[in-house]
Amino acid sequence: MIVVANKKRKIEKIKEENPGAYILDVTSSSEQHDGKILSPFYPHGRIPIPGESKTVTATCVEAIWQGLKVFENDGIDLAMFRNDTMKNIKRTVRKFGKPLGHQYGVFSKTLLNYEDAKRLIYIPTYKYVLENVPSVIRSLDKIRMLLETQDVVLLDYNLNPDNADKSKPLSHAELIKMYLEGRYPEE
């Protein structure tokens, strides 16, 4: 069984609730390499940008998500697609004003609302990483092997078991769980 838990909780409490489980932090601050590479901030490189983007790629899922955001005071950020530091990726309302949506690709004029952007940008981009990056595939295989003998707890900052829930941010740990359980959301 795979459980998703909040990284901010005390590890002792998580272990108490999941005795014998393997705990894997899948955030960018993870000290476990197999977990850190599952973070949407991890710079795998050469990730295709969805929509009308031709052959433009980015370093990581989060760079695509943030780079395609359009604000009332700023458009998409092409430089974001090259950010390989795992830092300074978030683009904020405080700096750029109200978010208007996500542009559906580098060369598109289509502006997607949050729900459509999750469905057409974030979810397929993260799936691309899960299915095409060799180190990520190895990490997922390791999780599958662990699941044969024990439960696995994935630690994430955001918890959203229903990634269609608009009131909460997406949880990539939930997407990993859904992928491993064969129920990854389709576009």
Please check whether residue 58 is in contact with residue 76, taking contact to mean a CB–CB distance below 8 angstroms. Answer: no
Domain that holds residue 52: 48-126
Angle at 141 between CA 136 and CA 143, to 5 degrees: 95
Q: Of the candidates 144, 154, 129, which has an alpha carbon nearest to the alpha carbon of residue 41? A: 129
Asked, for residue 117, whether it belongs to a domain, the answer is yes
Position 186 in a domain: no
| pLDDT of 160 higher than 90 | no
Classify 69 as helix, strand or coil.
strand
Count of structural domains within the chain: 2
Report how far residue 63's alpha carbon sits from residue 71's, in angstroms, rounded to the nearest whole number.
16
Please check the confidence at residue 162 and state whether its pLDDT lies above 90.
Answer: no
Tens of pLDDT, residue by residue over 98-145, are 999 999 999 999 999 999 999 999 999 999 999 999 999 999 999 999
Do 122 and 143 lie in a common domain? no
Q: Are residues 93 and 37 in the same domain?
A: no
107 and 78 share a domain? yes
